[in-house]
Amino acid sequence: MATEMATVQQDTNRQDATAQTPPAPTPPPASATPASSASESVPSASSASGSPAGVPAVAASVARPFVTEARRIVVKVGSSSLTTAAGGLDADRVDALVDVLAKVRSGGEKEIVLVSSGAIAAGLAPLGLTRRPKDLARQQAAASVGQGLLVARYTASFARYGVRVGQVLLTTDDTSRRAHYRNAYRTLDQLLAMGALPVVNENDTVATDEIRFGDNDRLAALVAHLVRADLLVLLSDVDGLYDGDPAKPGTSRIAEVGGPQDIAHVEIGSAGKAGVGTGGMVTKVEAARIAAAAGIPVVLTSASRAADALAGRDTGTYFQRTGRRSADRLLWLAHASTPQGSLALDEGAVRAVTEGKKSLLAAGVTGVEGDFVAGDPVELRDSTGRAVARGLVNFDAKELPRMLGRSTPALARELGPEYEREVVHRDDLVVLG
């Protein structure tokens, strides 16, 4: 099959505006504890001596300037840090976290976006459930009840500091499609500009298995990129990444990670202790990897040490930036979208997409799998079936078979001008590593 190596029009890449306006300062009560400022450089040591289980280590002096210099910060907190194992919100835990976050933003120089799990867990007890259900329908019912309770608790707690809370519920569909993505960014950016504190969660009530983030750790990493954050802080019930089981003696906390190679030898656990969330250390490390590769440093620690983490002290595990920011929506497309089908490409099309950074034209497509519609994410596969890229397709699955291998001008002549466009535009395509 001949491949049409057509030159793609040099159209201007579509980018979102990135204007940011600092929120108006809101003074907290005098009893709040001030956060420290940084003056020392990040230590090069990759591990620190572990503490016995249940005994907090003494926080060192300020050591992480990238943390204290961060202006826009995304903080993610897990279900186990907000609720009891039996279900239901722990008001004292919520208030303790709010105390820290309100103090950090009190000077007016820092903005906080809170990605909070806990909706499903908060809805368990009110619905008479003793544990997190496995079926999607009951999870969504619990989320419907729990999300209201969760936001009401945050609203009341932040009100003690005169801070307004805005709820933002997202699905992957909201963030992989261009118009939805822009709207998500504009909403979050405007909330911050108006001095509100966004509380973000996955929209569990309407999300299906096919369009779920699956865990809020990954959602937090992607939100950090969406809002152009300077720092991501992941809070859990574990005070960092360890080189072994932190409950066993002889293990050490890994203080700093320079890249994936630094923890290639570490066996990472996947289950949380409380049993009310979906993530574990695996999802947190993956979220840190996504954010770091997008140019955002990450601190992973326990919720009880949030103040130390945000003050730049040597607590938890610090993940250095390993890459630069990419086109915003493409990060979401690579890490948050669920392909609804796949397109098989010939060798010329594979080279054009992966090496030439070109759009995918019908002439290079040799096969179609799946039941998708225009705008859905699909995988682009080579002759061996390996996924080489992912993109948003411009045609329904049922339209593509008659287009395979045909030139764009020929399609326009025979089928009409609406077929004179790319199967996947380069602006809607990300090459997979």
The share of the chain scoring above pLDDT 70, in percent, equals: 77
User: Is residue 173 pLDDT above 80, yes or no?
Assistant: no
Choose the weakest-confidence range: 269-283, 305-319, 405-419. 269-283
pLDDT computed for residue 178 by the predictor: 64
pLDDT computed for residue 27 by the predictor: 42
Choose the weakest-confidence range: 92-101, 335-344, 384-393. 335-344
Residue pLDDT, tens place only, 137-153: 898 898 899 999 999 99
Residue pLDDT, tens place only, 29-59: 433 433 333 333 333 334 544 443 443 444 4
Fold match between domain 65-331 and domain 339-431: no
User: Is residue 19 pLDDT above 50, yes or no?
Assistant: no
The model's confidence at residue 228, banded by pLDDT at 50, 70 and 90, is very high
Higher pLDDT, 38 or 166: 166
Choose the weakest-confidence range: 179-188, 256-265, 286-295. 179-188
Averaged pLDDT for residues 331-347: 86
How far is residue 239's CA from residue 302's CA, in Å, rounded to a whole number? 4
Higher pLDDT, 160 or 174: 160
- Mean residue pLDDT of the chain comes to 81
Choose the weakest-confidence range: 115-124, 256-265, 289-298, 319-328. 319-328
Q: Which long-range contacts (CB under 8 A, 24 or more apart) does 407-410 make?
A: 407/4, 407/6, 407/361, 407/362, 407/363, 408/4, 408/6, 408/361, 408/362, 408/363
How far is residue 401's CA from residue 381's CA, in Å, rounded to a whole number? 16
Higher pLDDT, 1 or 356: 356
The domain limits of the chain are: 65-331, 339-431
User: Is residue 7 pLDDT above 90, yes or no?
Assistant: no
The model's confidence at residue 229, banded by pLDDT at 50, 70 and 90, is very high
pLDDT computed for residue 85 by the predictor: 63
Averaged pLDDT for residues 379-387: 96
CATH number of 65-331: 3.40.1160.10
Q: Containing H/E element for 219?
A: helix 216-226
Highest mean pLDDT among 31-45, 198-212, 266-280: 198-212
In the chain, the amino acid numbered 294 is A
Averaged pLDDT for residues 345-362: 96
Q: What are phi and psi of 287, to 5 degrees?
A: -65, -40
Averaged pLDDT for residues 218-236: 93
316: left (phi over 0), alpha (psi -120 to 50) or beta: left
How far is residue 1's CA from residue 403's CA, in Å, rounded to a whole number? 13
The model's confidence at residue 163, banded by pLDDT at 50, 70 and 90, is very high
Say which CATH architecture domain 339-431 belongs to. Roll (2.30)
Averaged pLDDT for residues 13-22: 38
Choose the weakest-confidence range: 22-26, 128-132, 263-267. 22-26
How far is residue 90's CA from residue 149's CA, in Å, rounded to a whole number? 11
User: Is residue 73 pLDDT above 80, yes or no?
Assistant: yes
pLDDT computed for residue 268 by the predictor: 79
User: Is residue 14 pLDDT above 50, yes or no?
Assistant: no
Comparing CA positions, the residue from 203, 201, 205 lying closest to residue 142 is 205
How far is residue 238's CA from residue 251's CA, in Å, rounded to a whole number? 13
pLDDT computed for residue 206 by the predictor: 66
pLDDT computed for residue 44 by the predictor: 36
pLDDT computed for residue 62 by the predictor: 62
User: Is residue 286 pLDDT above 60, yes or no?
Assistant: yes
Averaged pLDDT for residues 125-136: 87
Exposure string over 80-93, b if 16+ CB within 10 A, otherwise e: bbbbbeebbbeeeb
User: Is residue 342 pLDDT above 80, yes or no?
Assistant: yes
pLDDT computed for residue 272 by the predictor: 46
pLDDT computed for residue 30 by the predictor: 38
pLDDT computed for residue 326 by the predictor: 64
